[in-house]
Amino acid sequence: MNIFIYDSFLNQKKYDRLLARIETRITDLGLNGKISRSSLMRNIGETVKNELKRGAKTIIAVGNNKTISQIIGLLVGSSVPLAIIPIGEENNDIARGLGIESVDQACDILSARLLARLDLGLANQNYFLSDATIENQGTVVDMSDNYTIEATKTGLIHVLNLANAKIKLPPKVKILPDDGVLELVISAQSKKNLFSKSARGDQSIFKIKKVIINNPKAQLILDGSISMPTPATITVVKQGLNVIVGKSRNF
């Protein structure tokens, strides 16, 4: 059975018409299933656990990155795939990276059911599908037992599993969420000088399977949604998640 998990923010009246359109579309496509609406009293994680016990065949996250973040850890290693119907322009980078640009396209992609087995990032006990991000200043990156990096300039450190259009990378750098490695991207902003009209950005990019990140004053942000303290040991979980993807995905 298809289980549609509606995030709690969709309980706002302004989403009623959009949700009605989605429900009509999935009915027309023969994708009927069970709709579960989250709320302050109804936790997404507990709902997904219960539906998996009842034999759910597909879990569909209706919402944004935060919705997805609350589900992926429960599907690790499972044959039950995750599908996504993104709502809103903000905080939906994961859906776009998977080739899902709109609710109408998402319904068609769900119907086509093109499956991909993707890697996940794991920061301590927290999974992420797209990226983990922290500010440069004060952050120490432990690459191995005797090799550390400490960035002093203003900027951000990203650990990428899925390409994000907001994070500009050189054309030759390809982010593949099924290659068994993560990309560590350290971006630093250089100061303006007399001969430059704007600040110049510097990037260092490394392929990694494990890294330890520590900053006592800053939080690590997973998939733009979940904040966690450091130190955090980040590793890759190879092909940990079964996902329904679009043909226009960026990998």
How would you write the chain as a 3-class SS string? CEEEEECHHHHCHHHHHHHHHHHHHHHHCCCCEEEEECECCECHHHHHHHHHHCCCCEEEEEECHHHHHCCHHHHCCCCCCEEEEECCCCCCHHHHHCCCCCHHHHHHHHHHCCEEEEEEEEECCEEECCEEEEECCCCEEEEECCEEEECCCCEEEEEECCCCCCCCCCCCCCCCCCCCCEEEEEEEECCCCCCCCCCCEEEEEEEECEEEEECCCCCEEECCCEEECCCEEEEEEEEEEEEECCCCCCC
- Residues 186, 233, single domain; the answer is yes
- Residues 158, 109, single domain; the answer is no
Q: Which two tokens stand for residue 216?
A: 């006592």
Tell me the per-residue pLDDT of 140-183, one tens digit each, with 9 for 90 and over.
Answer: 999 976 789 998 889 999 999 999 888 889 989 999 999 999 99
Asked whether residue 169 is assigned to any structural domain, the reply reads yes
- Residues 88, 151, single domain; the answer is no
Q: What is the CATH number of the domain that holds 222?
A: 2.60.200.40
The domain boundary, picked from 81, 113, 145, lies at 113
pLDDT band at 193, cuts 50/70/90?
Answer: very low
The residue with tokens 């040991």 is: 233
Q: Which residue has the higher pLDDT, 29 or 198?
A: 29
Q: What does the alpha-carbon distance between residue 139 and residue 148 come to, in Å, rounded to a whole number?
A: 10
- Residues 101, 141, single domain; the answer is no
- Residues 97, 194, single domain; the answer is no
102-111, 141-150, 192-201: which has the highest mean pLDDT?
A: 102-111
Per-residue burial over 25-52, b = 16 or more CB atoms within 10 Å of its CB, e = otherwise: bbeeeebebebbebeeeeebeebbeebe
Domain count, the chain: 2
Q: What is the CATH number of the domain that holds 60?
A: 3.40.50.10330
- Residues 89, 133, single domain; the answer is no
Residues contacting residue 43 through CB under 8 Å, at least 6 positions apart: none
Q: What does the alpha-carbon distance between residue 155 and residue 7 come to, in Å, rounded to a whole number?
A: 32
Percent of the chain with pLDDT over 90: 83
- Residues 184, 229, single domain; the answer is yes
- Residues 129, 230, single domain; the answer is yes
- Residues 51, 6, single domain; the answer is yes
Q: What does the alpha-carbon distance between residue 15 and residue 19 come to, in Å, rounded to a whole number?
A: 6
Q: In the predicted model, what is the mean pLDDT of the chain?
A: 92
The domain boundary, picked from 113, 144, 167, lies at 113
Q: Which residue has the higher pLDDT, 125 or 144?
A: 125
* Nearest Cα to Cα of residue 122 among 48, 212, 28: 212
Distance of CA 28 to the CA centre of its chain: 29
Vertex 134, ends 133 and 135: CA angle to 5°? 135
- Residues 232, 150, single domain; the answer is yes
The pLDDT of residue 202 is: 85
Asked whether residue 234 carries a pLDDT value surpassing 50, the answer given is yes
Tell me the per-residue pLDDT of 62-79, one tens digit each, with 9 for 90 and over.
Answer: 999 999 999 999 999 999
Q: Which residue has the higher pLDDT, 157 or 89?
A: 157
- Residues 106, 127, single domain; the answer is no
Asked whether residue 244 is assigned to any structural domain, the reply reads no
The pTM (predicted TM-score) of the whole model is 0.92
Q: Which residue has the higher pLDDT, 188 or 214?
A: 214
- Residues 107, 130, single domain; the answer is no
Asked whether residue 215 carries a pLDDT value surpassing 90, the answer given is yes
The domain boundary, picked from 113, 133, 152, lies at 113
Asked whether residue 206 carries a pLDDT value surpassing 60, the answer given is yes
| Average pLDDT, integer, range 188-208 | 65
Asked whether residue 67 is assigned to any structural domain, the reply reads yes
The pLDDT of residue 201 is: 63
Domain span at 189: 123-238
